[in-house]
Structure 1
Amino acid sequence: MLLKKIKIVQYKNISNLGFEPHSSINAFTGFNGMSKTNILDSIHYLCLAKSNFGRLENNNVMKGHDFFRLEGEFEKNSDLINVTIKVKPPRVKVIQKNGKDLDKISDHIGDFPVVIITPKDKNSLLENSIERRKLMDRVMSQTDRMYLEKLVEYNKWLKQRNALLKISDIDRYDNLLLDTFDGKMEPLAEYIFEKRKDFIIKIAPRLSEIYKRISDGAEYPSIEYKSQLESKKYTELVKENLKKDLILKRSNAGIHKDDLIFSLDDMNLKLFASQGQLKSFALSVKLAEFTFLKEQKGYIPIVILDDVFDKLDNKRVKYLVSLLFDNGFGQVFISDTDKERVKKIFEDSNVDYKLFEVQNGNIINECTST
């Protein structure tokens, strides 16, 4: 799968920009604040119909304008597919594939798989459980459309359930309506739980193998899926938590409380890991995502590396490069402030590449390896 062309209009601080990427390595260089990251984020948006940096669409529209537009031409299995995404916050979001409007955003997710690696990835290992659930959902949504649709439906009913709890009291609530919501959510929760459990079983060996290579086998990594549904059915959980729900005015039982526990040598990563171990673990998680997507989709996903080389030591850079650039790698998009550094990495790896120099949301120069 390749991104052949892209056009970016009024996205963040990019007014109007179009370019044709290389089929292998594409590097965007320039000073900080020149829009390198925004270019990469527009590619992420084309693939997943959302920014990697938050949900508020208003933040994605260029100042002084009320909409943005992204256009891309992808090649997949020898077919050319034109994708257009038009967003006018707060309500208008249209995705077209070869000129035809898609009925649902979920119809787009997974057609153009992507993995993005950033220096902030290690924060997801330490922050709240929401971020760790996103690690699962981001990958599973790209490989299992049924999972995505059931997750969207579960969250829809959860939102309505929480809205009802907010206007309820412990001695005054609509038990019939709560039962209706719980009846809708029960099969969805059970399905998502089983899928997440299976996903962790499959990805854990990949994570372990990659981490051991990066760390020379110094520690044994593990990942554990924690869910309330491990011990009880969803219907039991919501009945037990009803009083608590009414007091706190939010739903306290369900798969929206799931979490992941990361460990090294059976010690919780959040409590004991050094900065170097966190970087290695976060990189291992992302590379495990890459190998899982590659295997499940049957073709190589796009990889985005945002300001990664500057934050990794030489050993981690060497391993990342060897995994992505050896043995028939796919299309990679990179941002970096140091043009000479990335050129040396590419030339040492003997790969073809295209360099784009970025300034104030424009490409002022581009060159291709010979």
Structure 2
Amino acid sequence: MNVKNLRLINFRNYYNLNVEFNDNINIFMGKNAQGKTNLIEALYICSYGKSFRTTKDRELINFNKEQAYIGANTKLNNLEKFIEVKMERDKPKRIRINKSELKNYKELNTGLVSVLFCPDDLKMIKEGPLLRRNFLDASISQIKPVYSYNLIRYNKVLMQRNNLLKTCRIKKDLVNLIDVFDIQLSKLGTSIIIERDKFINELNILINPIHKNLTCDKESVELKYFSNIPRLIDKESIEKEYLKLLKSNLNRDIEYGTTEIGLHRDDLLMLINNKDVKIYGSQGQQRTLVLSIKLSVVEYIKKYFGVYPVVLLDDVFSELDEDRRKFLSNSFKNMQVFITVTDAVDLNAVNDLSKSVFIIEDGKVI
């Protein structure tokens, strides 16, 4: 899987850019605030349909312009796709694949599969469970579009149930209507929980060899999935228990106006040598664990699709010591990687690989 070229018009600080890429290593080098991360962001948008830096599309448009455009030619095995993203101020963005317009960005599947690693990924460990759920959802959705579809439906039903709960405080005769939402939540929620559980089990198999190599065999890793819905022997049993828990918690839900039971409360516990890395892990351990998780996702996608995803590394090499840079680089031989750096010293680790270096200055490739 790779990106052949990228076209940007009025995107961030790029007025007009057309650049072709190396099938292996692509390095964006330059001082801070020159536009290196903007290129990574554009590639990420082609993959996920949204930015990893902002939720406001208008911030992606150059200050002096009303529209912005991203175009990328991608290739997965023998299947070529042309992905286009058009943004206008105060209008929803439009996404097309091979000239066919999508209804929304959530339909953007398998056009370009990528894995991003950036300094903000440490928040996945340090902050609340929402970021860890987002990691699970983004990773699984790229591989299984039906998961994304079920998640969208689940969140919609959850919002409707929560609105009804608030109404039931005043109009108690509406309580019976909640059963309809409970049945939908239990069915959709069970499917999502099963996929999350499978994904984490697969990741646990892949992550330990990677992490042991990164830590010279000193640390073992375990990822644990926490849900207030028990994982029972089969789907039907989980659905029944899910429904039972929703009903038993109904009075409390009405009191607080929100649904306390369900996968939207799930969390992912990360252990190094059986200790919670969020509480006991050093900054270095946390950074190495995130790197291990991301590399295990890369291997998971390879296992699923038969080819490696595109890897996006934003300002990561400067955060790693020489040994970890070397380990990373040895992993890159058979995949396309995009790396941002500020200093040529950081490139020693990729000396033996096929690469193109793009010098970025004030929104231009010079």
Alpha-carbon spacing, 1:163–1:56, altered in 2? closer, same or farther (3 Å): farther
Offset at residue 59 of structure 1 (A): 2.7
Q: Give the residue type in structure 1 aligned to 2:349.
A: I
SS for the counterpart of 1:147 is: helix
Q: Give the residue type in structure 2 aligned to 1:274.
A: S
Distance 1:159 1:68 in 2: 33
Structure 2 alignment gaps of length 5 or more:
232-237
Structure 1 segments (4+ residues) deviating >6 Å? none
CA deviations 1:68-96 (Å, max 9, x no partner) are: 22111112323432111123355523221
5 Å-filtered alignment, 1:110-259, equals 110-169=110-169, 172=172, 174-230=174-230, 233-259=241-267
CA contact (8 A) 2:165 2:258 kept: yes
Distance 2:356 2:75 in 1: 18
- 2:357 aligned residue: 355
5 Å-filtered alignment, 1:33-182, equals 33-88=33-88, 90-169=90-169, 172=172, 174-182=174-182
CA contact (8 A) 1:226 1:260 kept: yes
Q: Give the residue type in structure 2 aligned to 1:316.
A: R
Q: Give the residue type in structure 2 aligned to 1:52.
A: F
Moved more, 215-224 or 175-184: 175-184
- 2:273 aligned residue: 265
CA contact (8 A) 1:307 1:334 kept: yes
1:333 aligns with 2:338: yes
CA deviations 1:282-320 (Å, max 9, x no partner) are: 110000010001111111110011011111111211111
SS for the counterpart of 2:290 is: helix
CA deviations 1:76-132 (Å, max 9, x no partner) are: 323432111123355523221111123453432233110111122222112111111
Offset at residue 219 of structure 1 (A): 2.1
CA deviations 1:129-154 (Å, max 9, x no partner) are: 11111221111101111111101111
- 2:9 aligned residue: 9
Alpha-carbon spacing, 1:242–1:62, altered in 2? closer, same or farther (3 Å): farther
Distance 1:10 1:179 in 2: 50
SS for the counterpart of 2:82 is: strand
Distance 2:67 2:159 in 1: 27
Alpha-carbon spacing, 1:15–1:249, altered in 2? closer, same or farther (3 Å): farther
Alpha-carbon spacing, 1:34–1:165, altered in 2? closer, same or farther (3 Å): farther
CA contact (8 A) 2:44 2:114 kept: yes
SS for the counterpart of 1:243 is: helix
CA contact (8 A) 1:27 1:342 kept: no
Identity of matched residues, %: 28
SS for the counterpart of 2:229 is: helix
Distance 1:153 1:216 in 2: 44
CA contact (8 A) 1:110 1:141 kept: no
Alpha-carbon spacing, 1:179–1:87, altered in 2? closer, same or farther (3 Å): farther
Distance 1:175 1:236 in 2: 16
Distance 1:166 1:10 in 2: 45
CA contact (8 A) 2:57 2:93 kept: no
TM superposition score normalised by structure 2? 0.92
Distance 2:159 2:17 in 1: 38
Distance 1:60 1:164 in 2: 37
Alpha-carbon spacing, 1:282–1:84, altered in 2? closer, same or farther (3 Å): same
Q: 1:284 aligns with which of 286, 292, 302?
A: 292
Offset at residue 67 of structure 1 (A): 3.4
SS for the counterpart of 1:218 is: coil
CA contact (8 A) 2:74 2:111 kept: no
CA contact (8 A) 1:84 1:97 kept: yes
Moved more, 124-133 or 66-75: 66-75
Distance 2:324 2:349 in 1: 13
- 1:368 aligned residue: none
CA contact (8 A) 1:303 1:331 kept: yes
Alpha-carbon spacing, 1:165–1:56, altered in 2? closer, same or farther (3 Å): farther
CA contact (8 A) 1:48 1:110 kept: no
Distance 1:57 1:239 in 2: 40
5 Å-filtered alignment, 1:284-303, equals 284-303=292-311
SS for the counterpart of 1:228 is: coil
Structure 1 alignment gaps of length 5 or more:
366-370
SS for the counterpart of 1:230 is: coil
